[in-house]
Structure 1
Amino acid sequence: MKLVLALLLVFLSGRIYAENPRLISVIEPPANYLNARGEPDGFVTDIIRTLQEELNNHSKIEFIPEARALKIAEQNANVILFSFSRTPEREQKFHWLGQVQSKKWHIITLKTRQLAIDSPGQLKTLPSIGVVRGDVREAWLIAQGFSNISSVASHEQNIRRLLTGRVTAILYELQGLRHLTASLRLEPDTFESVYIANQSDVYILMSKQGTSPTLLRRWQQAFSQLRHSGKLGQIARKWQARLLSKQNTPSEVVDNILVF
């Protein structure tokens, strides 16, 4: 009898462990990033941690470059990614747990360049546009037929390249720019947005291949409860106030999500 119970406990603990999701994010402040103490931080990270508390989940948050994170989620079961833009190309590859953000993509350059952009055609004539390798903005520019794309590993690298003149402009968001200029001790007025190229809705998503239906359902229900209980809106409003006071980053809370 004791042997049977021991085997049952091993089996059950194995099932519980197997259905613990792998949590993967990208460095994309202020939604998700590593703070000065080297800890995961950000308003979407807050959402994930609240979901973990509701589900008694203790998975560690990993930060991985976007292209590799997407590949891991496409090829492996029980993987949760955050925060990723929802695109037609990605639609059928993942389960979409819930929207957490909506953001505009700005063409950002040095104010001293005094660039004036009125159309996508003008963007294609720029010497170079900096993006992050594997990022959704790089994929979008490629799909739009841009040939002046210059890709590197991080947004911070792009900001530094903009300062040294190695790229003419970067495709990024103003809220991320303000976060990084603050951490790099740069004057935000050094930069300006000259054109809004696109807008995307950002989600928490889960892998499809082999993912446990029970695990998927539990996280879907937890996110739905978070939204209907008002906690999702509370997190959004907390970060709206925090970003405005600390970084002068304005935003709206619409349907319980931050809109930049």
Structure 2
Amino acid sequence: MNSILIILFSLNSGALFAQSSKDFWVLAYPEPPFIEQTEKGQLTGLLVDEVKGILATAGIRQQILLAPWKRLEQEAKVKANVLAFALTRTSEREDSYHWITPLTANVYSVYSPHKQLKPLNSLEQLSEFDSIAVLENDVRHKILQAQNAKNVHVYSNWSDAIDSVVNKQSSAIFFSDAGMQYFCREQGKDCNQFERVFMYERTVTYLTLSKVGTNTELVNRLKSAANRYKHSDAFKLISKNWLKQYQNLPIPMHMEDGVLNLWNK
């Protein structure tokens, strides 16, 4: 991998210069079906192809590596030249990263097989549940941490989190419509028992670049490349092909202004 060269074109002079791969990293956390790894170890999915297209437009050649969520978020925060996806944009994270371009939009909610006698209208009311399953260090985990919630059950992946609710180890899960539908189908779980008991908000995930020690020239290059690529015929074709492949999945989705919206149009 150290032999790979990243070729960057200077924005100001048009001259070429190179960096070794150890100076620039592209990290992704698996989010099936948009970011996933085949049995042969190849990365595939709409967001994988989109990021590859942005890199190519920016004149950058680099391998995309999968990383555990905690490592991805941490390295993108403390190391220079780390491109990562897909991170949810929140007020707490706002100053920690360069936000290159939006990738997906979703709605976060709490789901439970336990019917509520009255509607829940605030995060504080989630204390009524014995336990709420979340992905460790995910934005929803941090939302509950900010509320000093004591009823949080943390899991290393969403499959285990859903299992915990199905098996009654947790009484609710903080997730999304698209995520619930996808993982329940993939695991063969009966999720008809789950009801949305609280809707949090609409959220947007981004392709991000680390701030610490990162040259602003690289930031501008990637933002410009993302904008150009999203208006290209190549992106329209890739999006169309992937949406066609996804049409049989139990996930409502449509593309609008270069962002994959995970609800019905």
Change in CA separation of 1:32 and 1:249 when aligned onto 2, cut-off 3 Å: same
Matched letter for residue 193 of structure 1: R
Map Cα deviations across residues 85-116 of structure 1 (whole Å, 9 max, x no partner).
Answer: 11112111211111111111121223xx3345
CA distance in 2, matches of 1:242, 1:40: 16
Name 1:9's counterpart in structure 2.
none
Which amino acid is the alignment partner of residue 195 of structure 2? E
Partner residue, 1:88: 91
Any residues of structure 2 matched to 1:41-60 within 5 Å, and which?
41-60=44-63
1:180-237 deviations in Å (ceiling 9; x for gaps): 2232233443533332122211110101111233332322221010123255455445
- TM-score normalised by L of structure 1: 0.83
Residues 124 and 231 of structure 1: CA distance in aligned 2, closer, same or farther (over 3 Å) = farther
**Contact conserved, 1:86 with 1:201, CA < 8 A, in 2?**
yes
Instruction: Give yes or no for contact 2:115–2:195 (8 Å, CA) kept in 1.
Output: no
CA-to-partner distance for each residue in 1:110-141, whole Å, 9 max, x for gaps? Answer: 3xx33454322432211111101111111111
Partner of 2:79: 76
Give CA deviations for 1:136-164 in whole Å, capped at 9, x if unaligned.
Answer: 11111122342211111111110111111
1:184 corresponds to: 187
Q: Is the 8 A contact 2:97 2:208 kept in 1?
A: yes
Equivalent pair of 1:106/1:173 in contact (CA under 8 Å): yes
Structure 2 residue 147 is the aligned partner of structure 1 residue 144:
yes
Does residue 219 of structure 2 align to residue 206 of structure 1?
no
Asked if the contact 1:162/1:168 (under 8 Å) is kept, the reply is yes
The residue correspondences of 1:1-260 to structure 2 (distance < 5 A) are: 15-17=18-20, 21-110=24-113, 113-115=114-116, 117-120=119-122, 121-229=124-232, 231-243=234-246, 245-260=247-262
Partner residue in 1 for 2:10: none
User: How far off is 1:37 after superposition?
Assistant: 4.6
- What is the aligned-residue RMSD (CA, Å)? 2.6
TM-score w.r.t. the length of structure 2 is: 0.81
Give the match's secondary structure for 1:103. Answer: strand
Q: Which runs of 5+ in 2 are unaligned?
A: 1-14
Task: Describe the SS at the equivalent of 1:16.
Answer: strand
Higher helix share: 1
Amino acid of the structure 1 residue aligned with 2:257: D
Aligned residues: 246
Q: The residue matched to 1:124 in structure 2 has which SS?
A: helix
- Residue 84 of structure 1 and its aligned partner are, at CA, apart by 0.4
**Kindly, what percent of the aligned residue pairs are identical?**
22
Q: Which residue identity lines up with residue 118 of structure 1 in the other structure?
A: L
Indicate if the aligned counterparts of 1:128 and 1:169 stay in contact, CA closer than 8 A.
yes
